[in-house]
């Protein structure tokens, strides 16, 4: 039986219900986090809770729980779930309203939801052979740093990739790389790891931060900068990162091989290194 957290109580998911007048349902008026859990230890929980606080502040919602309360919710969900590796969803919406109205209700009672699901890390084959991506214009709003539940554009963009037989869509805003439909994107060129600058056009990824930290620890040169369309297409390597996918190599973009020479269309050597560092880092977290 899958247990969830809803508005102060833990209950079977099958028994959980919210009002159809919930602003999360009617307007996508809410924010969320997805936290990976390895061997029942949440990975970077403090950072996820900090970003949740930032998202709530950005949509003008008071955090309904303290950090300790959030930690307890997560601990309880993780302990109850049947798997050792999990993906924990935390979601807060602006709650129900008496009548449909864009304006905030006079009294806001947020809906708070938590759920632990089985973590599906990418199959080995995707890591060994790499994934295919397409690219398109970033059609989303100008608050992409907010981890909002209103994900219609992201869903359409991810679906576009899947229907083209690819795994991710890389987004460009006015010719500059922003991110993927549900991931951050890195570029490797001449031995340097290039990362897009954090701003309102992309989500400040927790995995993005880990990758840059691991690069610094291991003396891999990095540069955080605007990355143009041409630079992405001339990349030696392209990676995508997210809490559930970790780090994955993108080996074709719009049907063309990424990279040149021996590793064209195949995962590159810096990816192999980063993947190893990432797995080692996870193991240190799991040891506690
Ligand atoms: N999404 N950018 C977007 C648009 C995302 O949706 C995600 C992750 C990321 C990567 O962020 P992080 O490393 O903190 O997971 C970047 C999650 C996994 C999701 O929506 O399921």
Residues 129 and 271 in one domain: yes
Residues 148 and 177 in one domain: yes
Residues 60 and 147 in one domain: no
| Burial bucket for residue 237 (CB in 10 Å: 0-12, 13-18, 19+) | buried
Q: What is the pLDDT of residue 233?
A: 98
Q: What is the pLDDT of residue 5?
A: 98
Spacing, Cα 34 to ligand 1 middle (Å): 8
Residues 105 and 142 in one domain: no
Q: Count of domains in the chain?
A: 2
CATH number of the domain enclosing 62: 3.30.470.10
Residues 275 and 173 in one domain: yes
Residues 97 and 154 in one domain: no
Residues 110 and 129 in one domain: no
Q: What is the pLDDT of residue 151?
A: 98
Q: What is the pLDDT of residue 12?
A: 98
Q: What is the pLDDT of residue 288?
A: 65
β-bridge mates for residue 219, sequence order = none
Q: Catalytic: 147? A: yes
Residues 10 and 35 in one domain: yes
Q: Write down which residue in 68, 94, 118 finishes a domain.
A: 118
| Token representation of residue 152 | 């219609």
Which residues lie with the beta carbon below 6 Å from any ligand 1 atom? 34, 154, 179, 182-184, 203, 205-208, 241-244
Radius of gyration, alpha carbons of the chain: 20
Residue of 119, 121, 203 to mutate, ligand 1, most atoms within 8 A of C-beta: 203
Ligand 1 atom showing the smallest separation from residue 48 Cα: 14
- Catalytic entry in 118, 147, 189, 282: 147
Residues 188 and 260 in one domain: yes
Residues 195 and 63 in one domain: no
Closest CA to 180 of 254, 237, 242: 242
CB 269 within 8 A of CB 263: yes
Q: Write down which residue in 97, 118, 139 finishes a domain.
A: 118
Q: Write down which residue in 92, 118, 144 finishes a domain.
A: 118
- Angle CA(171)–CA(115)–CA(199) in degrees, nearest 5? 30
pLDDT tens for the chain, 288 residues: list them: 899 999 999 999 999 999 999 999 999 999 999 999 999 999 999 999 999 999 999 999 999 999 999 999 999 999 999 999 999 999 999 999 999 999 999 999 999 999 999 999 999 999 999 999 999 999 999 999 999 999 999 999 999 999 999 999 999 999 999 999 999 999 999 999 999 999 999 999 999 999 999 999 999 999 999 999 999 999 999 999 999 999 999 999 999 999 999 999 999 999 999 999 999 999 988 776
Residues 152 and 20 in one domain: no
Calpha distance 140→84 (Å, rounded)? 35
Cα distances from 185 to residues 28, 220, 242, 276, in angstroms, run: 25, 17, 9, 18
Cα distances from 46 to residues 201, 235, 264, in angstroms, run: 23, 33, 38
Q: What is the pLDDT of residue 287?
A: 75
Residues 130 and 87 in one domain: no
Domain of residue 132: give its range: 124-286
CATH number of the domain enclosing 239: 3.20.10.10
């Amino acid at each position: 039986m899958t247990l969830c957290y809803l508005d102060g109580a833990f209950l079977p998911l099958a028994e959980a219900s919210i009002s159809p007048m919930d602003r999360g349902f009617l307007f996508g008026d809410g924010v969320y986090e997805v936290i990976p859990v390895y061997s029942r230890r949440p990975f970077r929980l403090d950072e996820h809770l900090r970003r949740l606080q930032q998202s709530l502040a950005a949509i003008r919602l008071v955090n309904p729980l303290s950090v300790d309360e959030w930690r307890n919710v997560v601990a309880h969900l993780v302990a109850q779930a049947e798997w050792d590796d999990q993906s924990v969803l935390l979601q807060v919406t602006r709650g129900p309203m008496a009548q449909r109205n864009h304006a905030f209700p006079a009294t806001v009672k947020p809906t708070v939801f938590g759920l632990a699901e089985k973590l599906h890390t990418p199959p080995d084959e995707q890591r060994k052979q790499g994934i295919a991506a397409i690219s398109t214009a970033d059609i989303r709003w100008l608050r992409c740093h907010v981890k909002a539940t209103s994900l219609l554009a992201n869903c359409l963009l991810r679906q576009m990739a899947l229907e083209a037989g690819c795994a991710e869509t890389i987004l460009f805003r006015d010719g500059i790389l922003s991110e993927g439909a549900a991931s951050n994107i890195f570029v490797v060129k001449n031995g340097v790891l290039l990362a897009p600058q954090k701003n309102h056009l992309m989500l400040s990824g927790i995995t993005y931060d880990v990758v840059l930290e691991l690069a610094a620890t291991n003396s891999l040169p990095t540069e955080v900068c605007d990355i143009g369309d041409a630079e992405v297409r001339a990349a030696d390597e392209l990676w995508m990162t997210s809490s559930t996918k970790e780090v994955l190599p993108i080996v074709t973009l719009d049907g063309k091989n990424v990279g040149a020479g021996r590793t064209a269309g195949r995962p590159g050597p810096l990816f192999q290194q980063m993947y190893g560092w990432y797995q080692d880092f996870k193991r240190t977290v799991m040891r506690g």
